[in-house]
Amino acid sequence: MDLSGLTSVTNASELTEWLAANMVTPVSPAISASDMGTIMQKMIAILGAEGGLVLFNVYESNYTIALTDKAVDMNTTSANTLTIPLNANVAFPVGTQIPVTQSGAGQTTLAGETGVTIHSADGKVSLRTQYSWASLIKRDTDLWWLSGDLGDTIAPPSTVIQINLTDTELPATSSGWNNLNLSSFGTSLGLSTTSGGSSGCSVIASVGTPSSQDWKHVVGISFGNTDFPDDVLATCWLIRGGTTLSLTVSGLIVDQVYTVKTCAADDASGDGPTKVTVGDSTQLGASPDNIAVELTFTNVTADSSGNLLIMFDNTAGATLPLMSAIIISTT
């Protein structure tokens, strides 16, 4: 077959014209396997470059997507992770869309490098089963949307969840804090990460019997640690009448290890210290007057439903225990 002119074909329109003029029946002289291979390579090069042909790159282990990936297929028997790089490392154009398939039996989970946020329905970031597929779309500099046949693995916080316990008038103004108001008792609050993306988690607050709670604007509390800024320390929740205050955080990953920090205080009126229980571990927040103390709980895991109970009470003998904030991070 005469392939003259094929090398000068540069786009789909020219390719269509060349095929119409040359691929006629009967082909004379007869087309060889080598000639057909040359023609197919030209078709793949042009249609792949113009987005008219989706070419899957197949990977058999953990992988970080690159600009050369138009579509990704994860083909392995082991659980694997497909990582989205930070824009500063790999600058995909906003609007990039990458199909992801799982042809192997090993579940594929998508994760972002630190600073990358993935939004998906219910925070799910894993393909459901073998032969599932999903579409990954870049919506902003380090923000991607994921949609498709997703499974039960829930995205951990991409950075940190910070919860400020406040009244309705004095929310924290420091960036990255979720303000949980006294008026929100019994209402689930969706939690964002410090970068502003959805964490896939929520929190709900409740009090024991008698149902009595109050807030207190504490003046002069100091800490000297940037984990808890001054405007977060300025407003504390306190418990009256010997009751307990419970915060249930849901949407966490089962078997994921977390670190939980809380900030307890003791003011000049003798309110405090606070007894804090996180999961199965308890600490007492004893502190000098007007000094906030940080309690750190390590190796914390959620229950089988992805829930974590954080409870404050004054059974340790405090007059009115004070609590300001909670920080939850992956270890």
Model pTM score: 0.56
83-129 confidence digits (pLDDT tens): 999 999 999 999 999 999 999 888 898 988 877 888 888 778 899 88
* Whether the predicted pLDDT of 239 surpasses 90: no
Residue 34 lies in a domain: yes
Q: What is the mean pLDDT of residues 279-291?
A: 73
207-222 confidence digits (pLDDT tens): 765 445 556 655 556 6
Which pLDDT does position 5 carry in this prediction?
Answer: 78
Shared domain for 45 and 62, answered yes or no, is: no
Domain edge (last residue) among 101, 125, 148: 148
Which pLDDT does position 208 carry in this prediction?
Answer: 66
Shared domain for 184 and 315, answered yes or no, is: yes
Shared domain for 170 and 269, answered yes or no, is: yes
As a whole number of angstroms, the distance between CA 124 and CA 111 comes to 11
Name 191's Cβ contacts closer than 8 Å, sequence gap at least 6.
161, 163, 178, 199, 201, 202, 203, 249, 251
- In percent, the amount of the chain with pLDDT more than 90 equals 20
pLDDT-derived band of residue 185, with 50, 70 and 90 as boundaries? Answer: confident
Q: How many domains does the chain have?
A: 3
pLDDT-derived band of residue 165, with 50, 70 and 90 as boundaries? Answer: confident
Q: What is the mean pLDDT of residues 203-209?
A: 77
Structural domain boundaries, residue 45: 6-49
Q: What is the mean pLDDT of residues 136-145?
A: 92
* Whether the predicted pLDDT of 198 surpasses 90: no
* DSSP 3-state of 99: strand
Which pLDDT does position 210 carry in this prediction?
Answer: 46
As a dihedral over the C-alpha atoms of residue 155, residue 306, residue 164, residue 192, rounded to 10 degrees, the angle is: 20
Domain of 211, CATH number, reads 2.60.120.260
- In percent, the amount of the chain with pLDDT more than 70 equals 72
- Which is nearest to 110 in space by CA: 197, 143, 122, 118? 118
Tokens of 284: 């007492």
φ and ψ at residue 50, rounded to 5 degrees? -95, 5
Residue 22 lies in a domain: yes
Domain of 109, CATH number, reads 2.60.120
As a whole number of angstroms, the distance between CA 280 and CA 265 comes to 22
Which pLDDT does position 100 carry in this prediction?
Answer: 93
* Whether the predicted pLDDT of 308 surpasses 80: yes
Shared domain for 164 and 310, answered yes or no, is: yes
- Which is nearest to 189 in space by CA: 326, 86, 82, 57? 326
Residue 1 lies in a domain: no
DSSP, residue by residue, 133-169: EEEEEEEETTEEEEEESB-SPBPPPSSEEEEEEE-SS
As a whole number of angstroms, the distance between CA 181 and CA 176 comes to 16
6-54 confidence digits (pLDDT tens): 777 877 677 777 777 777 666 666 677 677 767 766 766 666 565 555 5
* Whether the predicted pLDDT of 2 surpasses 80: no
* Whether the predicted pLDDT of 134 surpasses 90: yes
Which pLDDT does position 30 carry in this prediction?
Answer: 66
Shared domain for 227 and 90, answered yes or no, is: no
* Whether the predicted pLDDT of 249 surpasses 70: yes
The residue written with tokens 């799982």 in the block is 102
Residue 153 lies in a domain: no
Which pLDDT does position 234 carry in this prediction?
Answer: 74
Which pLDDT does position 135 carry in this prediction?
Answer: 92
Which pLDDT does position 222 carry in this prediction?
Answer: 61
Residue 99 lies in a domain: yes
